[in-house]
């Protein structure tokens, strides 16, 4: 069973917004390190960024999939397509984080890592809007 904050649109949105804003800040710090040639610091920021995505956004995604999404689809079968699309977003983010980790394993920082971070931000932003409007917004109707 999902926790009450996952079902409350305002509380759930706050969770998403906080994690996304932190991820944006980390991305900006990483970019600054790249531009200033601070390789060691950029590597540290990349590690922190990966940990952030895994511990905040993807852990939250796991909780949504294991509880909220299943419950919503069972209660309202017409939401199954929405749940499928939202789960696909999570899968894409997991794959991109994995690619980011693979890039980090080389010990080199590069522009591709920044592109992965940008991709995560774009997918998560669209995902959050879809979740609020098409899943949790459904409960309010």
Q: pLDDT at position 10, please?
A: 84
Instruction: Note down the domain range covering 111.
Output: 4-140
Q: Quote the number of domains for the chain.
A: 1
Condensed to tens digits (0 to 9), the pLDDT of residues 25-80 reads 999 999 999 999 999 999 999 999 999 999 999 999 999 999 999 999 999 999 99
Q: pLDDT at position 4, please?
A: 58
Q: pLDDT at position 40, please?
A: 96
More confidently predicted of 8 and 94: 94
The answer to whether the beta carbons of residues 43 and 107 sit under 8 Å apart is: yes
The answer to whether the beta carbons of residues 95 and 140 sit under 8 Å apart is: no
**Does pLDDT of 3 surpass 80?**
no
Q: pLDDT at position 140, please?
A: 44
């Amino acid at each position: 069973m999902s926790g009450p904050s996952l079902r409350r649109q305002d509380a759930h949105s706050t969770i998403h917004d906080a994690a996304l804003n932190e991820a944006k800040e980390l991305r900006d710090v990483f970019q600054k390190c790249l531009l200033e040639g601070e390789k060691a610091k950029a590597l540290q920021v990349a590690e922190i960024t990966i940990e952030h995505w895994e511990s905040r956004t993807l852990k939250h995604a796991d909780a949504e999939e294991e509880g909220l999404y299943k419950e919503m689809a069972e209660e309202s079968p017409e939401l199954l397509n929405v749940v499928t699309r939202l789960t696909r977003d999570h899968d894409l983010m997991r794959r991109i984080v994995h690619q980011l980790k693979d890039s980090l394993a080389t010990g080199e920082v590069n522009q591709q890592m920044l592109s992965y971070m940008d991709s995560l931000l774009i997918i998560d932003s669209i995902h959050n809007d879809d979740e609020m409007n098409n899943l949790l917004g459904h409960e309010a109707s």
